[in-house]
Amino acid sequence: AQKVTQAQTEISVVEKEDVTLDCVYETRDTTYYLFWYKQPPSGELVFLIRRNSFDEQNEISGRYSWNFQKSTSSFNFTITASQVVDSAVYFCALSEGRNTGTASKLTFGTGTRLQVTL
């Protein structure tokens, strides 16, 4: 069974601080995908990144960066120089990567609520 753990329930930072959101996953699949989504107060999920299990390269996109470590089954997300607009709930998710001919369901972590204040 797949499982995603986000141990940090809530994080509060002051604007311009860096913040890292942790994600640890469990799966028996050798091929899988990891995702991060942002959910602002409006409720709509915003896709941030997808990473497949064979690609351990870290990725940077503007103020966002992701650190994928298969050895520790972690896929952590860092926001550099946080801003008030980053305030939201962030979800890490996992899906199987087998080509079964249909789209694969996502297993979500419990989410981390990030509050960025002035």
63 binds another protein (CB under 8 A): no
Q: How far apart are CA 108 and CA 3, in angstroms?
A: 8
Residue 20 CB contacts under 8 Å (≥ 6 apart), including other chains = 76, 77, 78, 79
88 binds another protein (CB under 8 A): no
Q: How far apart are CA 75 and CA 50, in angstroms?
A: 11
Q: Which of residues 11-50 bind another protein (CB under 8 A)?
A: 33, 37, 42-45, 47, 50
Q: Which of 41, 57, 101, 118 binds another protein (CB under 8 A)?
A: 101
Q: Which is nearer to another protein, 16 or 110 (CB)?
A: 110
